[in-house]
Amino acid sequence: MSVGVLLALCLAARQGAAREVTVPIRMDLAFVRQALVEQLYTGPGEKAALWNDGVGCGWLELYQPGIDVVDGKLRIVSRGDARIGTSVGSKCLVALDWKGFVEVFEEPQLNPETRSITFKVVNSNIYDEKHEKRFFTGKLWDLVKKYVHPRLETLHIDLTQPFDELKAWLPLVLPGSQEQIEKLLASLSVRDPRLADSELAVTLAFDVEPRAATAAPTPEPTLSPAELAA
């Protein structure tokens, strides 16, 4: 990233007027999945315990998430395990035992205040163990909407560290006055989060002032015939 930023700065500085420079920052899906596991699937075997009734008659768990990009959206497919029942004395009246997969589609968004990429759930599906879509009870859907959607929307990619590192690095390589450097740093922004080609990307933008024109050297006066003869 630093090389690309430096080249962009050099090219912009040669222009005749101040201009905005944009530089793409790309993160592969392995990085995104690592953030997903570290933030949400923190239990043994990459498990996310989303709901438990506390008496052993009901729970919802997801584990071993896989991610990819489909139509510009992040698709998260997790194995799932759920039971819905009612405690009667020392026993449970089980209404549903389910094992299968939960598929969730999310769109990336930008939180400019925290300089982080967040995600909004836009669709989801429930499958059985054969990855076939069947009719499932409303109670299972209610659990998914109540506990899975909000949990997966807490996924975030923090850009504060690379942003601060860039702010510390630019003054070391950028020519110009302290005032010009401060203007550039003040203009730094992140925008346009997007998913494509198995990557998560954002655009870093900043304004660059042109370099001051270098005064041309004064030409030497032409020698007179007498001076040439001498």
Write the pLDDT tens digit of every residue in 108-137. 999 888 889 999 999 999 999 999 988 777
**pLDDT grade for 48, boundaries at 50, 70 and 90:** very high
- CA 224 to chain CA centroid, Å, is 71
pLDDT digits (tens, 9 = 90+) for 131-151: 998 877 788 999 999 999 999
Instruction: Residue 26: count other Cβ atoms within 10 Å of its Cβ.
Output: 12
| Dihedral angle sign, alpha carbons of residues 34, 40, 195, 9 | negative
Q: What's this model's pTM, rounded to 2 decimal places?
A: 0.80
- Structural element, H or E, at residue 67: strand 59-70
Residue 200, CB-side half-sphere exposure with 13 Å CA sphere:
27
Residue 227 has pLDDT above 80, yes or no: no
Closest Cα to residue 6, out of 187, 202, 173, 184?
A: 173
What is the predicted pLDDT for the residue at 224? 61
pLDDT score of 161 more than 90: no
Distance CA 163, CA 33 (A): 21
- C-alpha 83: how far from its chain's center? 34
User: For position 11, what pLDDT does the model report?
Assistant: 47
